[in-house]
Amino acid sequence: MIVATMDGIFKAHAINPKLIDNPDLPGLKDVNGVLIIQEMIKAGKSGPAGRLMPLTH
Is residue 13 in a domain?
Answer: yes
Is residue 30 in a domain?
Answer: yes
Print the domain residue range for 32: 2-45
**Half-sphere exposure (Cβ direction) of 2: Cα atoms closer than 13 Å:** 17
In our burial notation (b when 16+ CB lie closer than 10 A, e otherwise), range 7-38 reads ebbbeebeeeeebeeeeebbeeeeeeeeebbe
Query: Which pLDDT tens digit goes with each residue over 2-52?
Result: 888 989 999 999 999 999 999 999 999 999 998 989 988 888 888 777 677
**Count of domains for the chain:** 1
pLDDT surpassing 80 at residue 55:
no
pLDDT, position 10:
94
Q: Choose between 37 and 55: higher pLDDT.
A: 37
